[in-house]
Amino acid sequence: MKVKMLSRNPDNYVRETKLDLQRVPRNYDPTLHPFEVPREYMRALNATKLERVFAKPFLASLDGHRDGVNCLAKHPKSLATVLSGACDGEVRIWNLTKRKCIRALQAHEGFVRGICTRFCGTSFFTVGDDKTVKQWKMDGPGFGEEEEPLHTILGKTVYTGIDHHWKEAVFATCGQQVDIWDEQRTNPICSMTWGFDSISSVKFNPIETFLLGSCASDRNIVLYDMRQATPLKKVILDMRTNTICWNPMEAFIFTAANEDYNLYTFDMRALDTPVMVHMDHVSAVLDVDYSPTGKEFVSASFDKSIRIFPVDKGRSREVYHTKRMQHVICVKWTSDSKYIMCGSDEMNIRLWKANASEKLGVLTSREKAAKDYNQKLKEKFQHHPHIKRIARHRHLPKSIYSQIQEQRIMREARRRKEVNRLKHSKPGSVPIVSEKKKHIVAVVK
């Protein structure tokens, strides 16, 4: 007879002293872990609930401006520095870690229309209602010196926007035409127009640095190549585009913030159909900015809220609002992709977390592991109705909520009418136009 009984030595399973860690032997055999799926589902549900519990995105409000904040700019080299221009012509430079204004200067008379930093971070440019372009040093004036711009360019017309080239000493302004300037000269290198309308914003492409995009109030978005004297092509939409933003990771992709409450992501090679139409805002979208990862962007709207959209989704994943925040005019995603800043009508700049339930500060390795595990679980079970409902739920102010309802009814009525028209006409006579194509009027080359 040969016999062996299961006989464990307790010393192998119990810690030796109280100072040791407990011994936890693992066995991954699936039969020892029954109900794997339901238990994971419950964990995912709990993780989703906790995510909503910990969703406290608002970090700080920077006050100091004496009029509505009209434009924001990031410092290219310092994460903690932010520049803002207000409607009374004042420019302020903020330190985000201290949450304090470190410098204030009266840059223009009337609005500061646009502000941008030089790629090296030593100086910045502003344009204002007083028809000037001014270049300023990033550092404040020394003791006894006066606050003065490095250069001032007097123009003939009002400039409404400015953007600096990402690599060279060249910047572009827009107003009645798009002007491209050399920093050393007082006359533009070239001026480009297409039609006669005021252009509201101009943006350099961060990857293909010679490309520019601009949007004008005659409802079109025009693309330029700096090396050519003439514009490349333009797309005409249903309504005016307020601003555009290039995807920092994909050279051809840009997103346009439109007056018709939507955002349109275009591939510049095929402008006749937007890659995605992003709907959710209930009023005109005023500004848009990409996260440095190029996966998401944030949009600011006249409806007193900001929303975060994934690039490939038509609906927003997040909406931020507070009682005191008025129409949001400008928004920026910080370069570490963790925070969002927005400047609004009521003179404040607000700092938000990009990921509402994220824990700030250093995480221990166990915290990190738990976070990753929960993230994976949430991803795995995200389509289950119960979990989806909890993850999607957001509290909205009554004005936005009722407007959403109202617009839903309107959209439904339009759709019904379309379906009826389709039903009662000869097959093929009424074309089916997709939502993407509906808002594009024409593409001109």
Partner 1 sequence: MRARGLPGVPKPTVGQLRGVCTWIVVGVGWMETAPKPGRDVPPKNVKFQSKKKKPRRYWEEETTPTAAAASPGPPGNKKRNRELRPQRSKKAYIPKKSRISKKPQLPKKPRERRNPEPERSLSGAQDPFPGPAPVPLELAQKFCRIDKSKKLPHSKSKTRSRLEVAEAEEEEISVKAARSELLLAEEPGFLEGEDGEDTAKIRQADIVEAVDIASAAKHFDLNLRQFGPYRLNYSRTGRHLAFGGRRGHVAALDWVTKKLMCEINVMEAVRDIRFLHSEALLAVAQNRWLHIYDNQGIELHCIRRCDRITRLEFLPFHFLLATASETGFLTYLDVSVGKIVAALNARAGRLDVMTQNPYNAVIHLGHSNGTVSLWSPAVKEPLAKILCHRGGVRAVAVDSTGTHMATSGLDHQLKIFDLRGTFQPLSARTLPQGAGHLAFSQRGLLAAGMSDVVNIWAGPGKASPPSLEQPYLTHRLSGHVHGLQFCPFEDVLGVGHSGGITSMLVPGAAEPNFDGLESNPYRSRKQRQEWEVKALLEKVPAELICLDPRALAEVDVISLEQEKKERIERLGYDPEAKAPFQPKPKQKGRSSTASLVKRKRKVMDEEHREKVRQSLEQQAQKQEKKAMPLGPRPSALDRFVR
Q: Looking only at residues 411 through 430 of this chain, which bind partner 1 when binding is defined by CB under 8 A?
A: 415, 418-419, 422-423
Please identify, using beta-carbon distances, which residue of 313 and 324 lies nearer to partner 1: 313
Give ∠ CA 374-375-378 in degrees, rounded to 5. Answer: 85
Stretch that binds partner 1, among 71-79, 205-213, 351-359, 381-389 (CB under 8 A): 381-389
Please identify, using beta-carbon distances, which residue of 156 and 366 lies nearer to partner 1: 366
Minimum Å gap between C-beta 381 and partner 1 is: 6
Which amino acid is present at 82? V
Minimum Å gap between C-beta 44 and partner 1 is: 10
Please identify, using beta-carbon distances, which residue of 10 and 361 lies nearer to partner 1: 10
Q: Which of 265, 371, 370 is nearest to 310 (CA)?
A: 265
User: Coil, helix or strand for 408?
Assistant: helix
Please identify, using beta-carbon distances, which residue of 139 and 412 lies nearer to partner 1: 412
Q: Looking only at residues 17 through 46 of this chain, which bind partner 1 when binding is defined by CB under 8 A?
A: 22-39, 41-43, 46
User: Coil, helix or strand for 173?
Assistant: strand
Answer whether 157's CB lies under 8 Å from 129's CB.
Answer: no
Other Cβ atoms closer than 10 A to 412 = 10
Q: Is 99 in the site for partner 1 (CB under 8 A)?
A: no
Please identify, using beta-carbon distances, which residue of 395 and 424 lies nearer to partner 1: 424
**Structure token digits, residue 222:** 């025009």
Which of 52, 103, 380, 436 is the binder for partner 1 (CB under 8 A)? Answer: 380
Longest dimension (CA), the chain: 107
Q: Per-residue x/- marks for partner 1, 41-80, CB under 8 A? A: xxx--x----------------------------------
Answer whether 253's CB lies under 8 Å from 247's CB.
Answer: yes
Which of 17, 385, 395, 445 is the binder for partner 1 (CB under 8 A)? Answer: 385
**Could you say which DSSP state residue 320 is in?**
E
Other Cβ atoms closer than 10 A to 388 = 13
Minimum Å gap between C-beta 270 and partner 1 is: 16
User: Coil, helix or strand for 32?
Assistant: helix
Residue with tokens 């370069």: 335
Number of residues that bind partner 1 (CB under 8 A): 49
User: Coil, helix or strand for 102?
Assistant: strand
Minimum Å gap between C-beta 32 and partner 1 is: 5
| Total residues found in the chain within this entry | 445
Q: Which of 211, 185, 192, 199 is nearest to 113 (CA)?
A: 199
Q: Is 5 in the site for partner 1 (CB under 8 A)?
A: yes
Which of 269, 383, 395, 398 is the binder for partner 1 (CB under 8 A)? Answer: 383
The residues near 58 (Cβ < 8 Å, ≥ 6 apart) are 320, 322, 350, 351, 352
Minimum Å gap between C-beta 371 and partner 1 is: 16
The residues near 205 (Cβ < 8 Å, ≥ 6 apart) are 211, 212, 213, 246, 251, 254
Please identify, using beta-carbon distances, which residue of 9 and 97 lies nearer to partner 1: 9
Minimum Å gap between C-beta 395 and partner 1 is: 23
Name the strand (E) or helix (H) holding 318: strand 318-320
Q: Is 382 in the site for partner 1 (CB under 8 A)?
A: yes
Query: 443: burial class by Cβ within 10 Å (0-12, 13-18, 19+)?
Result: middle
**Structure token digits, residue 389:** 């409902």
Minimum Å gap between C-beta 427 and partner 1 is: 10
Minimum Å gap between C-beta 254 and partner 1 is: 22
Stretch that binds partner 1, among 200-208, 314-322, 377-385, 399-407 (CB under 8 A): 377-385
Please identify, using beta-carbon distances, which residue of 17 and 97 lies nearer to partner 1: 17
Q: Is 14 in the site for partner 1 (CB under 8 A)?
A: yes
Please identify, using beta-carbon distances, which residue of 3 and 53 lies nearer to partner 1: 3
Minimum Å gap between C-beta 15 and partner 1 is: 8
Q: Is 171 in the site for partner 1 (CB under 8 A)?
A: no
**Chain center to CA of 327:** 16
Contacts to partner 1 by CB under 8 A: 1-8, 10, 12-14, 22-39, 41-43, 46, 379-386, 415, 418-419, 422-423, 432, 434
